[in-house]
Amino acid sequence: MIIWLQIIIIAIILHYVISEKLRQWRMEGNLQGPTTIPFLGNSLLFFGCEAHDIGHRIMQLQNITKYGRVWRIWIGSHLGVFVADPKSLEIILKSNEVLNKSAVYNAVADFADGIVTSSGEKWRGLRKIVNTIFHNQNIENQVNIINNSSMVLCRLLEEKCDGRIFKIDNFIHECLLDITCKIIASSKTDMQLKENLTFTDDVRLGIHLSSDRCLKVWLHPDFIYEHTTAGKLKNAIVKKILGFSLELIKERRESLKGVKNSITVDGQHEAKPKIFLDHMFDYGREKNLTDLEISKFITDVILAGYDTSSCAISYMLLMLAMYQDIQEQVYEEIYDITGDSNRPVELKDINRMACLDRVIMEVLRHCSVPHVARRVDSPLQLQDKLIPKRSTLYLMLYRLHRDPEYWSHPDSFYPDHFLPENIERRPKYTFLPFVSGPRGCPGQKLSSILMKIIVSTILRQYKVTTTVRPSEVKLSMTMMLEVSGGSQIQLTRR
Ligand code: HEM
Ligand SMILES: *[C@@H]1O[C@H](CO)[C@@H](O)[C@H](O)[C@H]1NC(C)=O
Ligand SMILES: *[C@@H]1O[C@H](CO)[C@@H](O)[C@H](O)[C@H]1NC(C)=O
Ligand SMILES: *[C@@H]1O[C@H](CO)[C@@H](O)[C@H](O)[C@H]1NC(C)=O
Ligand SMILES: *[C@@H]1O[C@H](CO)[C@@H](O)[C@H](O)[C@H]1NC(C)=O
Ligand SMILES: *[C@@H]1O[C@H](CO)[C@@H](O)[C@H](O)[C@H]1NC(C)=O
Ligand SMILES: *[C@@H]1O[C@H](CO)[C@@H](O)[C@H](O)[C@H]1NC(C)=O
């Protein structure tokens, strides 16, 4: 008995010593972070956390005076390195060595598995296809699509224009979903008018269930998960989400058939320019993919396209409602451009909206993607720190964008942060809502056009107000940041 006890104690001590050695060996870079315990590392710090608490928990742990702007957490034997330092971010984003995405994105792989989540050659191939969306010759048509959808949005909002407070988020989600589907798939369906559209809610639930499973290790084996209530619900949701994308694929295939058969008056085939989905079909033929596999690729792009911009627009409307003086400035600026005419905002107007530009940037400072996770595949030197391979780098955009060192009003809504003289004063790589470099967001320019057209279309018709006070706004943090409980606003006709 005693002997067994001794053996167990010695084994535990040995394991402790060896694992600590291993840890030190792998952490050559003297990264600081919370004290670890054997086996578990820092896991206990997250004990009892729900998926949506994790981000906030990490923010609480982050203590710049103690650990610096590059610090670490051990989850068991896995090392996570958090980076919120402009110099280090510059090194990472310029190096082209850290382009692969972390395995955390695999959580959503059963419905969104494409460019955002992939790595290596697969990513490179998909990126080429996605870049076709942003060719210059497509902009004119995209502006048209955005104009049409934002007009429909304003018509639908009329119903809500009775002074009562309501949540505008789903209206915006569906408008952005409509625009995204029209841009990438030439969808003829008007998503905003579609009865019982549940796609945006399904996606929310799908992401929630996925991140919840991620945390609960005992749910990882498929044969267990499939028998739980959550597992069954998740399967049903995944089916619905992919069903939506499969419908887009079907619709496009049908309409391409139509084009092949329709011969114009002078006997020529109509030469329609290829859209993103057509390129995706080519890729699918080349790689022998099923429509189901293609549907996961396009769901990924749809999510990247609509969710980010619609969360930002909802947040912007809430901010403009709370800060009436800023709303007035934005409105005046739009009025100066379009005057009393009914004409919609056009491409040539976009660059004249300096005030709205500042508002958009301030919104993105607060409310965009909280962090991006990249996989370190070969050791990376970050100034005086060496990041070992097989660790995960978290680019902490949320923290970076609220660092009092760089922002005079880190936690308030203060568009003057983006006055030219203030931009001038900040170091580079302090504002990265779209990240940057070859893996950065390709939709940056498009999203600026989107936000300007939609917000100006709404503001020209409606005055936005709210009873919510700035101190009451809480952001929830999962893959995106959004206002907990939604953007509660009131509309009145101008
Ligand atoms: C406010 C709007 C938007 C924000 C804040 C935003 C932000 C981001 C961020 C942070 C990433 C991850 C970059 C990285 O891993 O380094 C990303 C990726 C991406 N975004 Fe956006 N985005 C926005 C709008 C759009 C739009 C309108 C599209 C159009 C379809 C789009 C398409 C994509 C795609 C395809 C990727 C994956 C790029 C890759 O992995 O190579 N985004 N975006
Ligand atoms: C951060 O660490 C410093 C030094 O250890 C400590 O004095 C300070 O209270 C900590 N701040 C927070 C917010 O925990
Ligand atoms: C990214 O991952 C792929 C495998 O998926 C690997 O071949 C490649 O070397 C990695 N790229 C970098 C820059 O480490
Ligand atoms: C926009 O709407 C107009 C009129 O409703 C229509 O003629 C035009 O084809 C639409 N454009 C696009 C790109 O959907
Ligand atoms: C904008 O959309 C409206 C409604 O769909 C349409 O009547 C109008 O012609 C469009 N204007 C431009 C410039 O595309
Ligand atoms: C939409 O939902 C309502 C109530 O849930 C139902 O009565 C209606 O048939 C549905 N419409 C469609 C087109 O599915
Ligand atoms: C494509 O897939 C089918 C069915 O799985 C298979 O029979 C065929 O050989 C594959 N073709 C290529 C080029 O891989």
User: CATH number of the domain that 284 lies in?
Assistant: 1.10.630.10
Is ligand 3 within 6 A of the CB of residue 141?
no
Among the bound ligands, the one closest to the CA of 197? 6
Beta-carbon neighbour count of residue 131 at 10 Å? 12
Among the bound ligands, name the one nearest to the CA of residue 198. 6
| CB environment 310-325: b (16+ within 10 A), e (fewer) | bbbbbbbbbbbbbbee
pLDDT, residue 94, reads 93
Which residues line the pocket of ligand 5, CB cutoff 6 A?
144, 147-148, 151, 344
Q: Count Cα atoms within 13 angstroms, Cβ side, for 200.
A: 23
- Nearest alpha carbon, ligand 6 atom 4: 196
Q: Whose CA is nearest to atom 1 of ligand 3?
A: 120
How does pLDDT run across 34-64, given as a tens digit for each residue? Answer: 988 888 888 888 888 887 788 888 888 888 8
Q: Work out how many domains the chain is built from and give that number.
A: 1
Whether 18 maps to a domain, the answer reads no
Compute the distance between CA of residue 289 and CA of residue 282 in angstroms, rounded to an integer: 10
Report which ligand 4 atom has the smallest distance to the Cα of 144.
13
Round to whole Å and give the CA distance between 123 and 377. Answer: 15
Q: Domain residues for 113?
A: 31-259+273-493
In the three-class reduction of DSSP (H, G, I as helix; E, B as strand; rest coil), residue 411 is classed as coil
Q: Which residues of 411-424 are buried (b: 16+ CB within 10 A; e: fewer)?
A: eebbbebbeeeeee
Q: How far is the CA of 407 from the centre of ligand 1 (A)?
A: 24
To test ligand 6's pocket by mutation, which of 193, 194, 196 has the most ligand atoms within 8 angstroms of CB?
196
List the one residue out of 439, 440, 445, 442 whose CA is nearest residue 123: 439
Q: What is the pLDDT of residue 275?
A: 93
CA distances from 467 to 164, 314, 321, 487 (A): 11, 16, 9, 11
Q: Is there a domain that residue 461 lies in?
A: yes
Helix (H) or strand (E) holding 483: strand 481-483
Query: Residue 493 pairs with which residues in a beta bridge?
Result: 462
SS3 47: coil
Dihedrals φ, ψ of 387, to 5°?
-90, 120
Atom of ligand 1 nearest to the CA of 439: 41
Q: In which residue ranges of the chain is pLDDT below 50?
A: none
Q: Which ligand is nearest to the CA of 152?
A: 5
87 contact partners, CB below 8 Å, separation of at least 6: 383, 427, 429
Pairing of strands 380-382, 481-483: unpaired
386: how many CB neighbours lie within 10 A of its CB?
15
Which residue, judged by its Cα, is nearest atom 13 of ligand 3?
Answer: 97
The secondary element (H helix, E strand) that includes residue 83 is strand 78-83
Residue 26 domain-assigned (yes or no): no
Pocket test for ligand 5, best of 139, 140, 148, 454 (most atoms within 8 A of CB): 148
Taking the centre of ligand 3 as the mean of its atom positions, its distance from the CA of residue 440, in whole angstroms, is 17
Distance of alpha carbon 296 from alpha carbon 284, whole angstroms: 12
Containing H/E element for 301? helix 291-322
- Number of the ligand 4 atom closest to the C-alpha atom of 145: 13
DSSP, collapsed to helix, strand or coil, labels residue 381 as strand
CB of 66 closer than 6 angstroms to any ligand 2 atom: yes
Rounded CA-CA distance 257/135 in Å is 25
DSSP state of 190: -
What are the structure tokens assigned to 89, written together? Answer: 């971010």
Within a domain: 7:
no
Within a domain: 2: no
Closest ligand relative to 393 C-alpha: 1
Q: Quick one: 152 exposed, middle or buried, by C-beta within 10 A (0-12, 13-18, 19+)?
A: middle
Specify the pLDDT at position 20: 58
User: How far apart are alpha carbons 291 and 249 in whole angstroms?
Assistant: 8
Yes or no: say if 388 and 24 are a contact pair by the CB < 8 Å rule: no
Asked if residue 154 belongs to a known ligand binding site, the reply is no
Cα-to-centroid distance, 172 and ligand 5 (Å)? 19
- Cα(289) to centroid of ligand 7, in Å? 9
